[in-house]
């Protein structure tokens, strides 16, 4: 999973595969981080907001 694991090989398969994994993880991670941070800011800014879903 990480380049320091001994199974790690620098080849196309590993790039594509782990690339995909880290890409997905990053989107999920960054997306959530964005949401949390934005919500904190929104909360600090105050106001309940009046969103309708």
Partner 1 sequence: MKQEHTQHRSKRYGMVIDLDKCTGCGACMVACFSENNVPFKKDETDKRLSITWMKVYRIDNGRDFPNNQVCYIPRPCQHCAGQHEGHSPCVSVCPATATDYSRETGIVSQIYTRCFGCRYCMGACPYHARYFNWWDPVWPEGMEKYLSPNVSPRMRGVVEKCSFCFHRYQLARDKAYANRRKDVKEADYQTACTQACPAGAITFGDLNNPGHAVHQIVKPNDHVVKNKAGISIIGKSQNPNVFRMLERLGTNTKVYYLSSREWVRKAGDNYIADEKPEDMFAEQKKH
Partner 2 sequence: MDSALIPEGVKRCSLWKFLLALSITSGVLLWGVIAMLLCWIKGLNQTNMNDYYGFALWIWADLAVIALGGGAFFSGLLKYIIGKDELKNLINYAVLIGFICYSSALLILAIDVGQPMRSWFIFWHANIHSMLTEVAFCLSCYFAVLTIEYIPLILENRQINKVPFFHHLAHNMHGVMAIFAATGAFLSFFHQGSLGGVAGVLFGRPFAFRDHILIWPYTFFLFTWSAAAFGPCFTLFITWMTEKITRKKLVKDKPILLLAKISGWMIVTYMVVKSIDTWYWATHTAPSLGFNWEFFFKNNPLYGKTMLFSEIILGGWIPGLLLIFRPTRENSVTRTTAFFLGMAGVCINRWVMVLQTMAVPVMSFDSWAMYIPSWQEVATTILPVAYGVILVMISYRYLPIFPQEKELNPIEGSAGSVDKQVGQTPAGDDSPLQPAQI
C-alpha span between 51 and 53 (Å, rounded):
6
How many binding residues for partner 2 (CB under 8 A)? Answer: 30
Residue in this structure with the two tokens 């949390």, named with its chain if needed:
36
Q: Tell whether residue 36 is a contact of partner 2 (CB under 8 A).
A: yes
CB under 8 A: which stretch of 3-11, 22-30, 34-42, 45-53 binds partner 1? 3-11
Buried b (16+ CB within 10 A) or exposed e, 33-53: eeeeeeeeeeeeeeeeeeeee
Q: Tell whether residue 17 is a contact of partner 2 (CB under 8 A).
A: yes
Write out the residues near partner 2 by the rule CB under 8 A.
Answer: 1-2, 5, 7, 13-14, 17-18, 20-21, 24-25, 27-28, 31-32, 34-36, 38-40, 42-43, 46-49, 51, 53
């Amino acid at each position: 999973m990480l380049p320091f694991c001994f199974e790690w090989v620098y080849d196309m398969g590993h790039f594509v595969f782990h690339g995909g994994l880290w890409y997905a993880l990053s989107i999920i991670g960054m997306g959530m981080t964005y949401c949390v941070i934005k919500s904190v800011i929104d909360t600090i800014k105050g106001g309940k907001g009046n969103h309708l879903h």
